[in-house]
Structures are given as C-alpha cells and as structure tokens.
Amino acid sequence: MTNSLINETSPYLLQHAKNPVNWYPWTQRSLDLAAAEDKPILLSIGYAACHWCHVMEHESFEDQATADIMNRHFVCIKVDREERPDLDKIYQTAYQMLNQKPGGWPLNMFLNPEDQVPFFGGTYFPPDSRHGMPPFKDVLQRIDDHFQQHREDLQQHKQQMMAAFTNIAENTSSSGAVNLVDEPLERAASSLQESFDSVHGGFGGAPKFPHPTNLERCLRHAYFCDNKHTAKTLLELCRFTLNKMSEGGFNDHIGGGFYRYSTDELWMIPHFEKMLYDNAQLIPIYLDAAISCDAQEMFAVANNTCAWVYREMQSAEGGYYSSLDADSEGEEGLFYIWQTDQIQKLVTPLQWKLLQSRYKLSGKANFEGQWHFHALKTIKAVAKENGLDEASVENEIAQANKELLQARASRIRPGLDDKVLTAWNGMMIGAMAQAGDVLGKPEYIHSAERSLAFIRRHLWDGNRLQVTARNGKSQLNAYLDDYVLLATGLFELLKVRWSTDDMQMLILLIESMLEHFEDKEFGGFFFTSNDHEQLLTRIKPDSDDAIPSGNGIAASLLLKIGHLLGEHRYLEAAEKTLRTLWNNINRYPVAHGSLLSALEAYLYPAEIIILRGEKRQLEIWRNLAMQYSHPDRVVLAIPSDAEQLPELLSSKTAPNDGVLAYPCKGTNCLPAISDLDDFNAYLNGIKD
C-alpha cells in the first residue's frame, strides 16, 4: 500500500511513500483539499540524511494507530527541505516565533487550512512521554481539539503571526540613507574571537558545527585589517580550528569528507551524515588557510575531501549527489566504525602500531563499543614516539587507510540521496575548480566541468533554472541561491580556464536574477522569484545559515562582475543590497558573514587582472599572478583567439606576440604591461 508520495522523485519523500499515513506532497491540490475538508494541515519537513527524521518515521509515521489519528484529523503534507527551502525558511522562522528558540529537522508544523498560517509547531515528537515531551498521539489529539474549539483565538493568532512576518519584511526593506563603513567588520572579528574555543577550536560548545562563513570571515579580516596583532590572532584561530576539525572524528580519516557536525566539543564523534554543501564550503577554506596560515598540511585535507567527492558523490552523467545518510542497517555510524580485530587483520604489524599511536585504539572504545577514528597525536608526535621520520609514518598510515577503505567498501552503505540540486552543485563546481587549480589536479577541474554540463542539459533552458533533477526528471522554479551559487561557481571555473560560453551563461544568470528576484523599490533580493507560487510571505534572506546568505553572495558577485565588465547596473544593485540590509548587518554583524564580505568588496574593490595572449605563454603569466596571495584577486587568462567577448573585455586586446596584462582595481586601471619582469614587479608592489 502506498500514498501520494509514490509519484515523487525526492528520495526523502519516497522513503515515506509506504507509510500508513496518507501523505501528500505540497501542491495546490493538497492545499485545496485541506480547505475543502476544513482540516488543519500537518506540515512535516525533513531530508533524506536526517537521523531524527528516520527515528520519527519509524516510531510514529510507520505506526498504524498514530497514522489513523493523523489521517482522521489532518491533511498531512511531507516536504523535502532541500527541494523546497522556500517553505523551510518560512516555517522555520514561524517555529522560532512560536517557540522562541531555533528549530531543526524534522520540523512538524500545524497550519490553518484556508491560508497555511501556522498556529503550533515542534520538531521531533516521541511516541511516548519522554524527557518532558508529551507523546505524539497526545499532541495530535490536543491540537485537533484546540482547532475545533478555539477558532476565534486562531484568527487573532493569525493576525499576530502575519504582523510578525510584516515586521521582518520591513527590517529588510529600508530606503533610509546609511553610511557603508567598516565598523561592523571590526565588531564581527571581535565577536568571533570572544566565542572561540581556545581549547578545542571552533566557536561555542557542543554540538559543534564547522561554521565556514565564520572561518572565512577570520581569514578575510586578517588580510584586510591594519592591526598585525589582530591579523595574527585570527589566522592562528583558523589554523587551530581547521586542524582540530581535520584531526578529529568530524573528518572521515579513511574515506575523506566531513560529516555534518560534532556531537561533542572535541570534534570526536560526529553526526555521521555527509552533506555536499558542507564539503563544498570547507574545501576552499582549507585551500585558502593552507596559503594564508602557511599550513601545508591543509592541502592534503582539501585533496582528500575532493577525492571523496570525485569517487563517491558524482553521477555518471556529471551531477553531484546531495548527501550520504548518517545511518546504515538502521544504525547511525555503523558504516564508519571499527572493532580492533577487524583493523588488525587488514594492516601490517607496523601499521597497526602506528594507527594505535595516532588514534589511541586501546582502552574503552569511543563510540558504542567500537572505534571511530579521531587523531589524538600528530604525525610528528607519532614519528618521534616510534623513531621514524614523518614521511614514513605518513606513507604507512596512508597505505593502512587504503586497505581499510577497500574493506569498508564491502559493507552495506549508508543511503544516498542521489538528487542533483542546482545550488549545491554550483558550490561544488567552484570548490572543485579552485582545488584542481591549486593542487594541480586537472581531474577535479574536469569534474566541475561535468557538473556544469549536467546543469546545462537538465536544469537550464538558456534563461531560467530549475531546482532539482533525478531519474531524468527536472522540476521546481529555482530560488535565489540557485542563481547566485551557480553563477559564483561558474566564475571560479572561468578563473581557472577561459570559456566564452561560460561567460555568456554567467551574464544570463545575473540578468535573470536581476529581472526576477530583485526588490526594485528598496534593493536586495527575495529568495523566490516574481513568478513563484504565492506563499505566506516573500523572504529576503540576509543572515547566513548552513548556506551563506543569497543576498551576500549576490552582492559580492555583482561587485566583481560589475567592475570586470564595467556594468554600473550591477554595482548599483550590489550597493542597494548593502544599504537596504544595513540595519540588520550593523545590529548583528557576526551573523552576516557573507554580507560582510560583500561590504568588504564594496569598500576595498577587487583587483582584476585580464591577461591576453597565446595559451602557453598565458599560463606562465597566470601562474606568476597566482603565486601572490590575495583573497579578492581576479585573474582571467583570455586566449588571443577568444571571440564574442563582452564589450569591456574585448577592448583588452591581445598582442600579436607575447602577453599583455591589464591590471585594474575598482574603476581605476593602469597601463597594460607587456614584460614578464615588469609584471612580476607590479605583483611584488601589491600588499601580500
């Protein structure tokens, strides 16, 4: 027996297709049904890799008695938050209003049938009374009773809820004159230093998330600030945190890739799901920190993460998959953990000795009677303890990990959410392109190109994007994040190798974003397009969450491309975005890392170097430019034979012989440089 979810493509929705609950997808038909039957909507939002979503499904949604109550009193709608972040953003915000605390997944909200305004909500509900929480069946019955008996109260509540949403909208739509100054940058840096865990790294206590936008903010502020002590402190904060994360069980030492978060302050035992978007953000952070912090060990971490993506997270058609589940065989982490006798059978005596030394595989096991790898000693310490050189220790442990990875591959794997999401693919395209360039791994660049080719074939019609593709079906009107994250990934790929087709696509993405998402009156960008389904409210996202704010990414992108192409419309749209969101940025800077980066790009425009010439010589000049660390330097190497260039780029003509470099910063450009030594001197004269 199946319900209406059986015709969906989302793996998360399909997981619930055989529940006795009469689930519906979010469609106009299901909303009309609730209104016609005058039943409240039970909106349940989650995602395929969510452990507690699985727990609640098994305990409640697979239980016939619970399902009977749900089916009798509610129209039950299931939503994959990765396909419908528009709905998730609205109802997570509503949950915070109702409960005065952050939400999470699974999110279970109860909505009025006629207008979808929420009147009650929670996250995980247990099947019986537990930890001060009532049984889910009791919650359902109480909510139905309240709905039937207190309709006038619900109308008053609706007015309060909509007033709160209106207030949020007004806070992100300000037309008042403001001065865009760097003071929020300084306060954000101070806040991050105050919340830094100097013992274990990261920010705050358990559970610990990687917070890539915070780490990026530290790296960028260290470069741009004039206080050498502050810069040194921020760089050390980043190096310490990133090393703790990669040495800890938060990182998959055997197979590469980072998990969702650490359940403890030590970064030892993670929540074992692996998300594409987390790793897409962490790869560039490790690459940038390796250079900025002079921490060569971070290149290996980035490479191992890319290798995992390349090996396990890319489809044969090229699109990157969304996530790996935390669970396998019904148990969290089972795929990743070991018993010591399993390890000993697979490695040499020397390798076992070194693994014991590095990961302390003795005494009481660290995860439910088994071992999850968490490095307690550095390679240097292990080498000293065993009288070996570091290179030998690294080689032996690497060989041992290969054997363990091969053995692990024969286990029952965690569930794979194999849908391809445009926004997340955009992030990984940029990460793989950057990694391929920095690490000298052309296969990673090719991987990024394959993902882009998939998007061109399945998710892009030459003007508009769709959100998701799976099993040959593409669907859903794309969101702001899809446009800005794909455009940013495309720009990273262009910086690695030139493609006129990609440049034209980038411009089309920006133009479509301006046409369909920009708030023409106040500035900034809505999360949904002007031809999107009408929802409870139209949110203009400003603060970062698991993914950076679409407005922050949009503003940064518009500033760089605006200066690159001399397109004042882009520069004006970016400035209006910063001005309309300024009150929130200024009120709580540390929550707006991506908008702070845009503010930085506004105050300190990117250095742009256009190189024109024959391909082989062009690469020499480009490699020289990339030796000088600069977080905002844009170097585009455009071959002499490139055609159909945008107007300003076409004015940067190629010489008959050799290379010409055209350096600009903001709207100020210097004369073209034709001599390689002069170009080196120019680069040497810029702050490193």
Whether residue 103 lies inside any domain: the answer is yes
| Chain position carrying tokens 């002499």 | 640
Nearest residue to 638 via CA among 656, 650, 647: 650
Asked if the peptide bond before residue 207 counts as cis, ω within 30 degrees of 0, the response is yes
Q: 380 and 303, same structural domain?
A: no
The rounded distance, in Å, linking the Cα atoms of 433 and 497 is 9
Q: What residues contact 471, with CB distance under 8 A and at least 6 apart?
A: 9
Three-class SS of 157-207: HHHHHHHHHHHHHHHCCCCCCCCCCCHHHHHHHHHHHHHECCCCCCECCCC
313-371 pLDDT, tens digit per residue, is: 999 999 999 999 999 998 999 999 999 999 999 999 999 999 999 999 999 999 999 99
Is residue 640 scored above 90 in pLDDT? Answer: yes
Whether residue 87 lies inside any domain: the answer is yes
Q: 439 and 485, same structural domain?
A: yes
Q: What one-character-per-residue DSSP string does 327-389 give?
A: EETTEETTTT-B-HHHHHTTS-HHHHHHHHHHH---SS-SBTTBB-----S-HHHHHHHHT--
Question: Number of folded domains in the chain?
Answer: 4
Whether residue 116 lies inside any domain: the answer is yes
**What local confidence, expressed as pLDDT, does residue 296 receive?**
93
**What local confidence, expressed as pLDDT, does residue 684 receive?**
87
Is residue 176 scored above 80 in pLDDT? Answer: no
Is residue 10 scored above 60 in pLDDT? Answer: yes
Q: What is the mean pLDDT of residues 235-239?
A: 97
Asked if the peptide bond before residue 106 counts as cis, ω within 30 degrees of 0, the response is yes
Q: 188 and 67, same structural domain?
A: no
**What local confidence, expressed as pLDDT, does residue 132 receive?**
83
**What local confidence, expressed as pLDDT, does residue 163 receive?**
93
Residue 60 burial (10 A CB sphere; 0-12, 13-18, 19+): buried
Nearest residue to 83 via CA among 148, 33, 8: 8
β-pair type (668-669, 659-665): antiparallel
Residue 122's beta-bridge partner residues? 108
Is residue 277 scored above 80 in pLDDT? Answer: yes
What's the CATH number where 647 sits?
3.40.30
What's the CATH number where 325 sits?
1.50.10.10
Q: 325 and 310, same structural domain?
A: yes
Nearest residue to 59 via CA among 130, 145, 146: 130
Q: 538 and 439, same structural domain?
A: yes
The rounded distance, in Å, linking the Cα atoms of 130 and 86 is 32
Q: Please state the φ and ψ torsions of residue 608, each to the nearest 5 degrees.
A: -120, 125
Q: Please state the φ and ψ torsions of residue 15, each to the nearest 5 degrees.
A: -60, -25
What's the CATH number where 73 sits?
3.40.30.10
Whether residue 612 lies inside any domain: the answer is yes
Number of residues that this document lists for the chain: 688
Residue at which a domain ends, from 583, 603, 623? 603
What's the CATH number where 391 sits?
1.10.10
Is residue 175 scored above 70 in pLDDT? Answer: no
Q: 612 and 599, same structural domain?
A: no
**What local confidence, expressed as pLDDT, does residue 130 receive?**
86
The rounded distance, in Å, linking the Cα atoms of 565 and 318 is 30
State the pLDDT confidence band at 686, using cuts at 50, 70 and 90.
Answer: low
The rounded distance, in Å, linking the Cα atoms of 245 and 553 is 25
Q: Could you say which DSSP state residue 649 is in?
A: H
Tokens representing 438 are 């920095």
Tokens representing 463 are 């003007």
Residue at which a domain ends, from 558, 583, 603? 603
Q: Could you say which DSSP state residue 1 is in?
A: -
Angle 560-565-567 from CA coordinates, rounded to 5°: 90
Q: What is the mean pLDDT of residues 40-65?
A: 96
Q: What Å distances lie between residue 231 and 210, 234, 584, CA to CA?
A: 21, 5, 26
Contact 246, 262 (CB under 8 A): no
User: Which range among 125-134, 218-227, 299-308, 618-627 shows the weakest confidence by mean pLDDT?
Assistant: 125-134
Torsion of CA 320, 574, 550, 495, to 10 degrees: 20
409-447 pLDDT, tens digit per residue, is: 999 999 999 999 999 999 999 999 999 999 999 999 999
Per-residue burial over 133-155, b = 16 or more CB atoms within 10 Å of its CB, e = otherwise: eebbbebbeebbebbeeeeeeee
β-pair type (331-332, 274-275): unpaired
Residue 477's beta-bridge partner residues? 466
Q: Is 64 helix (H, G, I), strand (E, B) or coil?
A: helix
Contact 282, 250 (CB under 8 A): no
Q: What one-character-per-residue DSSP string does 275-305 give?
A: EHHHHHHHHHHHHHHHHHTT-THHHHHHHHH
Structural domain range at position 246: 183-193+205-332+417-603
- Please give the distance of CA 523 from its chain centroid, rounded to a whole number: 24
Tokens representing 373 are 């790898």
Q: 300 and 166, same structural domain?
A: no
Q: Could you say which DSSP state residue 6 is in?
A: G
565-596 pLDDT, tens digit per residue, is: 999 999 999 999 999 999 999 999 999 999 99
How many other β-carbons are positioned within 10 Å of the β-carbon of residue 100? Answer: 7
> How does the average pLDDT of the chain come out, rounded?
95
Q: 230 and 116, same structural domain?
A: no
Q: 436 and 406, same structural domain?
A: no
Tokens representing 647 are 């107007």
Q: 387 and 258, same structural domain?
A: no
Whether residue 178 lies inside any domain: the answer is no
How many other β-carbons are positioned within 10 Å of the β-carbon of residue 496? Answer: 25
Residue at which a domain ends, from 383, 410, 437? 410
Q: What one-character-per-residue DSSP string does 408-463 give?
A: HTTSPPPPEE--EEHHHHHHHHHHHHHHHHHHT-HHHHHHHHHHHHHHHHHTB-SS
Whether residue 530 lies inside any domain: the answer is yes
Q: What Å distances lie between residue 335 and 189, 325, 362, 408, 473, CA to CA?
A: 39, 10, 20, 7, 30
Is residue 189 scored above 80 in pLDDT? Answer: yes
**What local confidence, expressed as pLDDT, does residue 171 receive?**
84
Is residue 170 scored above 80 in pLDDT? Answer: yes
State the pLDDT confidence band at 630, using cuts at 50, 70 and 90.
Answer: confident
Radius of gyration (C-alpha) of the chain in whole angstroms? 26
Q: Is 521 helix (H, G, I), strand (E, B) or coil?
A: coil
**What local confidence, expressed as pLDDT, does residue 131 receive?**
79
The rounded distance, in Å, linking the Cα atoms of 177 and 671 is 36
Is residue 688 scored above 80 in pLDDT? Answer: no
Three-class SS of 101-160: CCCCCCEEEEECCCCCCEEEEECCCCCCCECCECCHHHHHHHHHHHHHHCHHHHHHHHHH
Q: Could you say which DSSP state residue 45 is in?
A: E
Q: Could you say which DSSP state residue 589 is in?
A: G
Q: What one-character-per-residue DSSP string does 384-410 give?
A: HHHT--HHHHHHHHHHHHHHHHHHHTT
Is residue 687 scored above 50 in pLDDT? Answer: no
Q: 434 and 545, same structural domain?
A: yes
Rounded percentage of the chain residues whose pLDDT exceeds 70: 99
Q: 113 and 164, same structural domain?
A: yes
Q: Is 75 helix (H, G, I), strand (E, B) or coil?
A: strand
Q: What residues contact 310, with CB distance under 8 A and at least 6 apart?
A: 432, 443, 444, 447
- Percent helix, strand, coil in the chain (nearest 5)? 50, 15, 35
Whether residue 654 lies inside any domain: the answer is yes
Angle 160-162-165 from CA coordinates, rounded to 5°: 115
**What local confidence, expressed as pLDDT, does residue 1 receive?**
83
**What local confidence, expressed as pLDDT, does residue 685 receive?**
82
Whether residue 198 lies inside any domain: the answer is no
